[in-house]
Amino acid sequence: MSEQDPRTPGVALPGTAAPAQHYPQPLLPRNARNWMMVWYRNYMVWKKLAIPSMIGNLADPMIYLFGLGLGLGLLVGQVNGVSYIAFLAAGTTASSVMMSASFESMYSAFSRMHVQRTWEAIMHAPLTLGDVVLGEILWATSKAVLSGAAIMLVAGALGYAQFPGALAALPVIVLAGITFASLAMIVTALAPSYDFFMFYQTLIMTPMLLLSGVFFPLEQLPEGAQKATQLLPLSHAVALIRPLMLGRPVEGATLHVAVLAAYAVVALVVALVLLRRRMLR
């Protein structure tokens, strides 16, 4: 055990080992260049496996789109004045954003934080925890935008989305990506292992996927359930993306954007607080 100089607390006497110091990491990013470098570092790693990564991110939503859209579409017919596959395409775009952003912020970010300890190495440079977390969230958002935009382009090429009006959905996809990446980062901050993420997938993501208007209109739900869905961020993302992709006016756009933005800001702050506590253990 080291002996401390009574004249200067925290400083070891000559010839003894220095006491361990723990300094709290600043919560906020230091500057834009720092978090951009974290984003760029993740991009350079991902670029080596870009093709299999993209195939993996697009496989599930495309199966939903064509499997359910073409199969159930023959039975359902039209929904809200459009073919069922066109209705489903917009919902699938929103859900793919949620899935891609969440998985990147959970599994990949957890690997870099806990298993590979990449975050610790990065923070030995003049970067704050806020720089690292914001860079991770925006990287997850980038992958979500890539996934959502790819599905939207496929839907447009097949006549299930209206261009160029559907391009107005891209800012919404970005906002939704930030929202779901920030929410998933909270789960990452609490996770002791990869198995923990199954709770979030089963108890949060799956109900949100089924109850947010992705597969059927919310009007089909009981009145109480319809009100409850207004608490789900995915329902607001769907409510913005679907009319934009179908070339229709958006109702209540300000409310939908405000809810997504509120979720993003609150989740980011909570994630930063929890991660700082975890990194100081």
DSSP state letters, 8-38? STT-BPTTSPPPP---PPPSS-S-HHHHHHH
- Quickly tell me which residue has 């994630």 as its tokens: 271
Is residue 131 a part of any domain in this protein?
yes
Which of 139-143, 219-223, 276-280 is modeled with the greatest confidence? 139-143
Is residue 214 a part of any domain in this protein?
yes
Which pLDDT score, from 0 to 100, does residue 105 have? 96
Reported confidence tier of residue 18, pLDDT bands at 50, 70, 90: very low
Name which of 175, 172, 167 is nearest 245 in CA terms.
Answer: 167
In this structure, the dihedral spanned by the alpha carbons of residues 67, 71, 76 and 78, taken in order and rounded to 10 degrees, is: 70
Is residue 139 a part of any domain in this protein?
yes
- What are the C-alpha distances in Å from 24 to residues 28, 118, 143, 207, 280? 12, 18, 30, 37, 7
Is residue 26 a part of any domain in this protein?
no
Is residue 5 a part of any domain in this protein?
no
The pTM for the full model equals 0.85
* CA–CA dist 108, 188 (Å, integer): 10
- What are the C-alpha distances in Å from 83 to residues 13, 61, 218, 246, 252? 78, 18, 17, 11, 24
* Structural domains counted in the chain: 1
Is residue 15 a part of any domain in this protein?
no
CB contact set of 198 (below 8 Å; sequence gap of 6+): none
Which pLDDT score, from 0 to 100, does residue 146 have? 92
Q: At 78, is the secondary structure helix, strand, or coil?
A: strand
Domain that holds residue 123: 34-279
